[in-house]
């Protein structure tokens, strides 16, 4: 189900655009059966993690092999046909040498990175086959003073990409190219304990991010996002400079943490919707379905934001906590793009308030008992990236969640198992996340609302059984 709706009833359509197309029934929507399109992901990981003590220093060697096989099935008439099949192999390495302490300076040096190879084994392709190699060297040091802690680090990274060509009949689907990206990153920060109740923090960091293969070379339908995506082989690396500040207060009855940041980003990579020569959306037809077309671009930008955490734990009610977390971020381009300066895919401001009661014991069989009630308020997003009609405004919403749990113990006070119960979206509210790509699927002509909404009321039960070998 991809969000297509019946014009007359507003109900979802299964297998849209195929001879099997039909309106989804209540049994279909309640069923746990997976219809097409669907994905199957198999991930294999083998890790070797070792630490060697060499006199007063330590050598850490971490090696890992990973094989991620992502298959997408999207043909209703051939439900077992693998339309997309990415076979991604990666070898990760990390070597870190912790040097002996020198005049209270704790220093580490090392290298890390990965080698990656992608193969396309499906009938369709979104990105080309490629080989990628990352290597980076770093040094990090830390010094503890009586009331302050200083830390700083510097690293150099290089990414080499070799993307392979592919012909689809007589048409060039992907052109071969080789790119290399290299840059320097660094950080310096200090934490100062002004008193036993007040801590001040300050940091400055320079960052670097090479474009991904999807951003460089996409040329195909991305069914999970209902988009046809085009990459840009000439994209540059993103670089950023970010200062941030923080303050922490800890008292007997409450604690407060506040942090704020400003991030200056050069060559920020983003996607935008393409327009057709006739003024509407540019559409690409894939197997009878019209998909909106997007392209990756980049532009200088800036980000700013803050996070506040306020926790009330009144004494002598040590079992009671009222915790509140507020987060806010704002992103702007240096210059307007098609009349909009707002960055795409920026989350809305959010306030999460949780009232939680913790009890060490409840009878002879229960320990670590807790009850909680949470209000998750996401505010309206009224400043989206409207350039080329890429994004629209999103209404705010409040979700009420609740939960309870405990450890079950025997007579010897050994934990037999733990039980956790939770209900999210208790009021079964209809809501949409601003970051949801399903927000832009077909409109419901009956209600006038566009897109697929997020999860309604949901019940969950989790049981943890400890297991140990002696």
Transcribe 381-399 into DSSP letters.
B-----GGG----B--EEE
> 240 or 278: whose pLDDT is higher?
240
Decide: residue 61, CB within 10 A, 0-12 exposed, 13-18 middle, 19+ buried: middle
Kindly report, residue by residue over 68-126, the tens digit of the pLDDT: 999 988 888 888 899 889 999 999 999 999 999 998 899 999 999 999 999 999 888 88
Residue 469 in this model has a pLDDT that exceeds 70: no
Band of residue 159 on the pLDDT scale cut at 50, 70, 90: very high
Kindly report, residue by residue over 204-259, the tens digit of the pLDDT: 999 999 999 999 999 887 766 678 888 999 999 999 999 999 999 999 899 999 99
Lookup: tokens for 108 = 């580490």
| The pLDDT of residue 19 | 87
Kindly report, residue by residue over 35-55, the tens digit of the pLDDT: 888 889 999 999 999 999 998
Residue 403 in this model has a pLDDT that exceeds 80: yes
* Bridge partners, 130 (sequence order): 118, 163
Does residue 331 contact residue 301 with C-beta atoms inside 8 Å? yes
Pick the range with the lowest mean pLDDT from 12-26, 90-104, 135-149, 191-205.
Answer: 12-26
Residue 288 in this model has a pLDDT that exceeds 70: no
The stretch 10-19 carries a mean pLDDT of 86
Pick the range with the lowest mean pLDDT from 89-93, 267-271, 272-276.
Answer: 272-276
The stretch 2-25 carries a mean pLDDT of 87
The whole-chain average pLDDT of the chain stands at 91
The stretch 381-389 carries a mean pLDDT of 92
Does residue 14 contact residue 1 with C-beta atoms inside 8 Å? yes
Q: How many CB atoms lie within 10 A of CB 302?
A: 17
C-alpha neighbours within 13 Å on the C-beta side of residue 71: 14
The stretch 284-304 carries a mean pLDDT of 85
DSSP 196: S
DSSP 12: B
Kindly report, residue by residue over 319-346, the tens digit of the pLDDT: 899 999 999 999 999 999 999 999 999 9
Residue 315 in this model has a pLDDT that exceeds 90: no
Number of H helices and E strands in the chain, helices first, is 2, 25
Residue 363 in this model has a pLDDT that exceeds 80: no
| The pLDDT of residue 223 | 66
Distance in angstroms (rounded) separating the CA atoms of residues 447 and 431: 14
> 159 or 15: whose pLDDT is higher?
159
Does residue 309 contact residue 352 with C-beta atoms inside 8 Å? no
The stretch 428-432 carries a mean pLDDT of 95
| The pLDDT of residue 404 | 96
Pick the range with the lowest mean pLDDT from 77-81, 303-307, 402-406.
Answer: 77-81
Does residue 465 contact residue 417 with C-beta atoms inside 8 Å? yes
Integer angstrom CA distances of residue 108 from 52, 139, 191, 320: 14, 6, 20, 41
Residue 470 in this model has a pLDDT that exceeds 90: no
At 29, which helix (H) or strand (E)?
A: helix 26-30
| The pLDDT of residue 47 | 97
> 82 or 411: whose pLDDT is higher?
82
The reported pTM is 0.85
Q: Exposed e or buried b for every residue in 174-206, given b needs 16+ CB within 10 A?
A: beebebebebebbbebbbeeeeeeebebebebb
| The pLDDT of residue 440 | 86
């Amino acid at each position: 189900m991809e969000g297509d709706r019946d014009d007359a009833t507003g109900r979802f359509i299964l297998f849209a655009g195929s001879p099997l197309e039909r309106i989804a029934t209540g049994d279909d929507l309640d069923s746990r059966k997976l219809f097409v399109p669907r994905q199957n992901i198999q991930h294999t990981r083998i890790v070797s993690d070792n630490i060697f003590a060499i006199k007063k220093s330590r050598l850490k060697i971490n090696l890992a092999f990973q094989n991620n096989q992502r298959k997408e099935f999207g043909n209703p008439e051939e439900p077992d046909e693998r339309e997309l099949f990415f076979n991604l192999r990666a070898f990760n390495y990390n070597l870190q040498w912790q040097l002996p302490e020198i005049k209270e300076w704790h220093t580490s040096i090392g290298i890390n990175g990965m080698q990656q190879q992608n193969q396309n084994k499906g009938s369709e392709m979104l990105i080309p086959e490629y080989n990628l190699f990352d290597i980076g060297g770093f040094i990090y040091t830390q010094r503890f003073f009586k009331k302050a802690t200083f830390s700083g680090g510097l690293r150099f990274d290089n990414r080499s990409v070799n993307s392979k060509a592919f012909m689809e009949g007589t048409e060039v689907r992907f052109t071969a190219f080789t790119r290399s990206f290299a840059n320097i990153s660094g950080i310096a920060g200090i934490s100062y304990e002004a008193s036993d109740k007040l801590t001040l923090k300050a940091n400055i960091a320079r960052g670097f991010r090479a474009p991904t293969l999807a951003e460089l070379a996409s040329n195909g339908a991305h069914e999970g996002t209902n988009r046809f995506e085009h990459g840009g082989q000439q994209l540059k690396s993103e670089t950023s400079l970010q200062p941030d500040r923080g303050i922490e207060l800890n008292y007997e009855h409450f604690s407060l943490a506040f942090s704020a940041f400003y991030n200056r980003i050069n060559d920020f990579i983003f996607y935008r919707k393409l327009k057709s020569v006739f003024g509407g959306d540019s559409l690409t037809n894939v197997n009878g379905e019209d998909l909106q077309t997007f392209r990756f671009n980049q532009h200088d930008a800036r980000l700013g934001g803050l996070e506040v955490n306020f926790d009330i734990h009144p004494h002598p009610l040590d079992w009671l906590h009222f915790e509140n977390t507020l987060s806010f971020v704002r992103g702007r381009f240096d210059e307007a793009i098609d009349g909009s300066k707002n960055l795409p895919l920026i989350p809305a401001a959010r306030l999460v308030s949780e009232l939680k009661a913790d009890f060490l014991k409840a009878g002879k069989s229960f320990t670590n008992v807790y009850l909680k009630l949470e209000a998750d308020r996401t505010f309206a997003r009224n400043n989206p990236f409207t350039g080329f009609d890429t994004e629209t405004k999103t209404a705010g919403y409040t979700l009420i969640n609740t939960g309870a749990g405990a450890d079950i113990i025997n007579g010897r006070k050994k934990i037999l198992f733990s039980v956790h119960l939770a209900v999210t979206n208790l009021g079964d509210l209809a809501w949409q996340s601003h970051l949801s790509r399903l927000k832009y699927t077909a409109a419901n002509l009956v209600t006038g609302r566009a897109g697929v909404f997020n999860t309604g009321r949901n019940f969950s039960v989790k049981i943890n059984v400890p297991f140990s070998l002696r």
